[in-house]
């Protein structure tokens, strides 16, 4: 739940892929890929602190895209109408 006057939290979906990279001489290293599913943005990492930093960067970029889209259209991406805005087949509004 959110406080009055504050926008609700948005949800973001990421996929994380991990694999072991062979470095030769019996050594391996974990590598990873993170993808923001909605935008398709992909980034690569080799350690956990980098993954966290990438997630924060990608969240910031997604929020900036959302703000720009709202500013460009002059309205939120999704609008909901009320029942009174819908006309019935006889031409009368639903609130009559």
User: Residue 11 to residues 24, 32, 63, 71, 91: CA-CA distances in angstroms?
Assistant: 41, 22, 11, 20, 40
Task: Decide if 65 is inside a domain.
Answer: yes
> Which residue range forms the structural domain that includes residue 26?
14-70
Task: Decide if 43 is inside a domain.
Answer: yes
* Interatomic CA distance for residues 53 and 18, integer angstroms: 17
Token pair for residue 38?
């909605």
Task: Decide if 96 is inside a domain.
Answer: no
* Interatomic CA distance for residues 84 and 93, integer angstroms: 6
Into how many domains does the chain fold? 1
Determine if the pTM surpasses 0.85: no
Q: What is the pLDDT of residues 35-88, one digit of tens each?
A: 999 889 999 999 999 999 999 999 999 888 888 887 877 655 543 343 433 443
Q: Are the C-beta atoms of residues 95 and 81 closer than 8 Å to each other?
A: no
Task: Decide if 3 is inside a domain.
Answer: no
Task: Decide if 6 is inside a domain.
Answer: no
Task: Decide if 77 is inside a domain.
Answer: no
């Amino acid at each position: 739940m959110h406080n009055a006057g504050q926008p609700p939290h948005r949800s973001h979906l990421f996929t994380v892929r991990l694999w072991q990279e062979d470095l030769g001489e019996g050594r391996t290293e974990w590598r990873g890929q993170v993808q923001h599913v909605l935008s398709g943005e992909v980034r690569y990492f080799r350690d956990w602190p980098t993954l966290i930093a990438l997630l924060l960067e990608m969240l910031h970029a997604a929020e900036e895209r959302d703000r720009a889209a709202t500013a460009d259209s002059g309205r939120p991406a999704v609008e909901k109408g009320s029942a009174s805005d819908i006309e019935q087949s006889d031409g009368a509004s639903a609130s009559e």
